[in-house]
Chain A
Amino acid sequence: NAGVTQTPKFQVLKTGQSMTLQCAQDMNHNSMYWYRQDPGMGLRLIYYSASEGTTDKGEVPNGYNVSRLNKREFSLRLESAAPSQTSVYFCASSEQGGIPTGELFFGEGSRLTVL
């Protein structure tokens, strides 16, 4: 099993450009998440989807949009990239969002640089 797969692994954008980070999981998990990791800041939640058809804002949603395309896929879109969005982005999934006992399974990360 691949687990959680993120694409692309690396991306360089110019300010104002748009892009979509793709995430897919093959574990039949209900919940999916997007986090960003910045030095000294830990992981901060951008958006999450507790179940197919629902999405909710996390701690730092500004400048991002998400789509839960189906149970497997959860994409993160930057409409107009800014240098402050330079970060490492992690997608994660978990079995049950409503009963939060399950651990998260993470992808390998997508390293985004905005010039």
Chain B
Amino acid sequence: AQSVAQPEDQVNVAEGNPLTVKCTYSVSGNPYLFWYVQYPNRGLQFLLKYITGDNLVKGSYGFEAEFNKSQTSFHLKKPSALVSDSALYFCAVRDINQAGTALIFGKGTTLSVSS
């Protein structure tokens, strides 16, 4: 069975500081991994994905994520946080061997960036 865990309900960081939002996953085969962001009263927006290739993936709004197969992690990072990055972030996973299946989402991490 597929699963994804986001161990932190909330991450607080000061503007200008680096941020990390953690995600670990479990799949039977190789994973497809995604990060989404949700602003208040809005739908989820795609940030980035890892399918294959380089372990460091770059996405929208200056975010990047590092795929670590040995640690089964896919942490979201940004070198310098902005107040406007404050939102709810979701990690999601899909097993590439499970054709026709949907994404499984984590419970979400609220990022709060203070000025």
Contact = CB atoms under 8 A, between A and B. Distances in A.
A108 B96 CA distance: 28
Given A100-B32, A101-B51, A103-B49, A45 B102 contact: yes
* B interface bracket (residues with beta carbon within 8 Å of A): 20 to 34
Interface residues on A, range: 20 to 34
A96 B103 CA distance: 12
- The main secondary structure of chain B at its interface with chain A is loop
B67 interface: no
Nearest to A98: B99
Contact of B100 (A4, A42, A98, A103): A98
Contact of B90 (A42, A56, A58, A97): A42
B107 A42 contact: yes
Nearest to A102: B49
Contacts of A97: 99-100
B84 interface: no
Interface of B: 6, 9, 32, 34, 36, 41-46, 49, 51, 90, 94, 96, 98-108
